[in-house]
Amino acid sequence: MKIKYSRLESAGNNFILLDYLDNSLPEFNKISKLIFDSRELSNSDGLLIITKSRNKDFELDFYNPDSSPSFCGNGSICAVKYMTRINLKKEYNFLSNGLHCKAQVNKSDIDLKIPKINKYREFINGFLINTGTLHYVEFSKSLHDNFFNKRVIKLTLSQEFLKAPFNINIVKKEKDHIQIRTFEKGVNRETLSCGSGSTASILAVFLAFEKKYSLVKARGGNLNVDFNFNNKFFKKIRLTSKPTIINSGYLSIEV
């Protein structure tokens, strides 16, 4: 059986998307294992499943390559990009892994509005912040391979990680932007960027240094994050990217 997919990208994150809007594809639960075993998905950063919604524009389920569900910022932006090809609107309301999100379309830019955030923990050299999924943000003056890889190994072996796995963002603060490198749980390797990780990193830098940055430079491209801060919580959070539809193809699976 051949199942049509689309491949989309946002700031270096690339995803496989399956369109379940018209219910023409086989029931996902019956073929999910075959999909996660496919070469196409293993070469991506995750799987996007779009379905109809009763009172929203659509619903999105995101799965990491290891089949674990999660919220994904770049994945949500890519899903909106796909929807613009079906029904172009200026604003979309949708559920992303159960999280109510809104997105605005402005030419090639898509602004993802994330619900307010008030849960974070401070550590000696960083913060643990939930931006839809859990991220640990650590500050460093170096993003070199040797340092990054050693920190990732140490952190993933920590009791904190083993108890409740989190994504890892190592952040270097520059004059007018931040640079990040990200290790993503569920992908189990470094990814070229991370939308929720970029958001967590911008918020963590603000908490630590009381300076508001917007531009995030990841290895795969740039993202922008804007927010308001009111005492203990962040609100009006917007993650902006320029997603693209790379191509389409077919998953060859045997049912």
Residue 10 belongs to a domain with what CATH number? 3.10.310.10
Does residue 47 contact residue 35 with C-beta atoms inside 8 Å? yes
Statement to judge: residues 143 and 232 lie in one domain: yes
Statement to judge: residues 71 and 28 lie in one domain: yes
Q: Which residues contact 190 (CB under 8 A, 6 or more apart)?
A: 148, 152, 181, 182, 183, 184, 219
CB atoms closer than 10 angstroms to residue 22: 7
Statement to judge: residues 229 and 148 lie in one domain: yes
Statement to judge: residues 90 and 200 lie in one domain: no
pLDDT at 255: 61
**Angle 154-47-65 (CA atoms, 0-180°, nearest 5)?**
35
Statement to judge: residues 40 and 25 lie in one domain: yes
Q: What range defines the domain where residue 57 resides?
A: 2-107+242-252
Statement to judge: residues 127 and 228 lie in one domain: yes
Q: What's 175's DSSP letter?
A: S
**Residue 35 located in a structural domain:** yes
Provide the number of structural domains found in the chain.
Answer: 2
Statement to judge: residues 75 and 26 lie in one domain: yes
Statement to judge: residues 9 and 20 lie in one domain: yes
Q: How far apart are CA 79 and CA 73, in angstroms?
A: 10
* Residue of 170, 176, 130, 132 whose CA lies nearest to 153: 170
Statement to judge: residues 247 and 229 lie in one domain: no
Q: How far apart are CA 143 and CA 155, in angstroms?
A: 15
Statement to judge: residues 127 and 62 lie in one domain: no
Statement to judge: residues 225 and 247 lie in one domain: no
pTM of structure = 0.95
pLDDT in tens, 175-219: 999 999 999 999 999 999 999 999 999 999 999 999 999 999 999
Q: Which stretches of the chain score pLDDT less than 70?
A: 254-255
pLDDT at 26: 83
